[in-house]
Structure 1
Amino acid sequence: MTSSTSSTSSTPGTAGTPGAAGTFSIGGEHRVNRLGFGAMRLPTEPAADRKAALAVARRAVERGVTLIDTAHLYGWGANEELLAEALYPYPDGLLITTKVGILRTGPEGWAYDARPESLREQVDQGLRRLRIERVGLLQLHRIDPKVPIAEQVGALRELQEEGKIGHIGLSEVTTAQLAEARQTAEIASVQNRYNLFDREHEQVLEACEAAGIAFLPWRPVAAAAEPDRPSALTTVATDLGATAAQVLLAWLLARSPVVLPIPGTASLAHLEENLAAAHLRLTDSQRALLDRTVAPTDHH
């Protein structure tokens, strides 16, 4: 698997473009801008909110986002349908990745289900909702504890061999689970919760970096909204003339060349704010200050 990053110069005060943070080649096939978009927070109803969500998805792509993350779990397929409505036919270079492995069991209930036959059905449904014949990156939303990892990943590998899946990703895995999965199939991405104040999966990130596997941190900027956020974050944001969320994204982008943050929002203003983070460059001293920072509350 190959990967590379590239940077472009930035002008203070200009609107951010995702490409300013460099690019990464997922699976050696899909070269995407490292700053992506998570679609989970896009509402599908009522009609007015849906219209606004469609506008946000379209604006993200207009501004240069080339990696969008969704899942069957998000609205039980409604989020995938929303993206198809907003963006189909998809422009060249856009990678929409979705996740399977969790099924609805009732109005509020859900359960892991990564049995091979279930994964096959979930993938087929996702392809239909996204209006595609092949999903470029298909992620296993969670490891099903009732099914051997080799069976779960093996089922996805079979779908890959059939041409329905381009590349296979995992979500919320340990280093041991990642290593076991890689014995069955090539793994192109890992999506784990990770941010400045929640580094529980540091070793997973390091394993991904060593193997050239894309690492998609979810909840990348959650701490920005907290009133008691550490003073170091506020200090760096003030020095850069940036927001706390932008600093958190800049820290992630600087953390490793395999990190591809996917901040999500249903707001056009917040979308623009997030994309502007691609232009931020932290100094060594600012990075060191942030690296020493711990969360004031229990994030991990």
Structure 2
Amino acid sequence: MTSPLALEISGLSVRFGDTLAVDGLDLAIPRGATVALLGPNGAGKSSTVNAVLGLIRPATGSIRVLGRSPAAAVRAGGVGAMLQHGGLPSEARVGEVLDLARRSFPTAWPLDDLVATAGIDGLLGRSTDALSGGQRQRVLLALALAGAPPLLLLDEPTSAMDVEGRRAFWATMRGLAERGHTVVFATHHLDEADAVADRVVVLAGGRLLADGPAASLKAGFAERTISFTSAGELRFDAVPGVSATERRGDTVVLTTADPEATLRALLADGGRLPDLEVRGASLEEAVLTLTGALR
């Protein structure tokens, strides 16, 4: 008998009055996957996360979380969550809040390991009112992990963190994935999704636009960019394959659908291209192209 999926969404629609926030979403996520939910504001990411947590009732469709209903999975401690607008009780110490959370679950994450995993060593005796933005996010992560949940849902988890804090946070997420946890996160930091997720799901207008590895999504866009140093005022519009040109100081950036033909033309007659760089579409460019098609 095969184990159930971590998350199975079928025909999910979510409405807020006349607004259709999620429109017929189908999504199946196996255990142990790390999945990024991407898309512009209003794409339906947070509504999907809230529906999975049982915080809002779908208009249509079904959701199974670890083979159970959302409410049953949450009650059993199978799901941990960091929500975009999550908060901490004031006038309390971190250790007190964490102890209360751990007592709420049938199986609690061992405290010492939880503190190390969430990166909150030295914070247990601190008041929640005295935490920095990044420290608050780390404590919220510890609370999400308190019940040792197989599934972790994160909605913009690094929004209050600096660069070093974000790097440390995603190192923690990679470690959790290696330990078998399923991580599903919504983010506007597409560089994080590209670096961390083994699968990206792109939403816009409540509908699914793309689902697969980031590399596959980027490879679906034929255009590449070629950049090099050129101090002259030469024009490159007529070079084969070039669809757009941009100058950034002494750097010329050409967008081309045929990089080989473009390079052959540029290097003809022994031409030189100092600081040459050829790159494919970034995940951000691919997502913007996909979501922009709906506007």
Q: TM-score range by the shorter chain?
A: 0.3 to 0.5
TM-score, structure 1 as length reference: 0.34
Q: TM-score, normalised by structure 2?
A: 0.35
Larger radius of gyration: 2
Structure 1 or 2: larger strand share?
A: 2
